[in-house]
């Protein structure tokens, strides 16, 4: 699986931790590449475009709280970004919402918990069924319906 990953300066260390802790995944790193101040919309937009175009199957975005990254990612058609703060949310974002972008807040969760969440998020399939009907409704809203 190819996952686009991006962060601002606040999420840089967590991004690096995730890349170095998760195996069996090809990461496409869109920055930030240091802790020097940078703007999260630039990096989150880049990863969202990769997912949107199918150049990555999923994305992971990280900023200080995850709020700005979540707002940014969800501006892109076809992106279902879920801001998750615990393992249950990460699993449910895949099972019920088929989230294709996981958003994390580097200042909100510990690195070890974030890695556990990412592993679960990568491994958890979409359940489909009644949940697909709801995603279809979201897509209709996204398309102006």
Q: What are the catalytic residues?
A: 63, 96
Query: At 29, which helix (H) or strand (E)?
Result: strand 26-29
> Distance (Å, rounded) from C-alpha 140 to C-alpha 145?
5
Q: Is the peptide bond before 39 cis (omega within 30 degrees of 0)?
A: no
Q: Which long-range contacts (CB under 8 A, 24 or more apart) does 52-56 make?
A: 52/76, 52/77, 52/78, 52/79, 55/2, 55/4, 55/28, 56/2, 56/3, 56/4, 56/28
**What are the tokens at 13?**
């260390």
Nearest Cα neighbor of 34 from 68, 5, 11 is 11
The position carrying tokens 């592993």 is 119
């Amino acid at each position: 699986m190819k996952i686009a990953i991006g962060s601002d300066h606040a999420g840089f260390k967590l991004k690096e931790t995730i890349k170095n802790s998760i195996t069996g995944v090809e990461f496409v790193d869109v920055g930030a590449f240091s802790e020097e101040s940078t703007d999260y919309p630039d990096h989150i937009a880049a990863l969202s475009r990769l997912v949107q175009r199918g150049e990555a199957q999923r994305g992971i975005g990280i900023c200080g709280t995850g709020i700005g990254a979540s707002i940014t990612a969800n501006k892109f058609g076809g992106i279902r970004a879920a801001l998750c703060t615990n393992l249950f949310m990460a699993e449910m974002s895949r099972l019920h919402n088929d989230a294709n972008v996981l958003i994390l807040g580097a200042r909100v969760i510990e690195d070890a918990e974030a890695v556990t969440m990412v592993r679960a998020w990568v491994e958890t399939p979409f359940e489909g069924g009644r949940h697909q009907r709801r995603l279809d409704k979201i897509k209709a809203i996204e398309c102006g319906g």
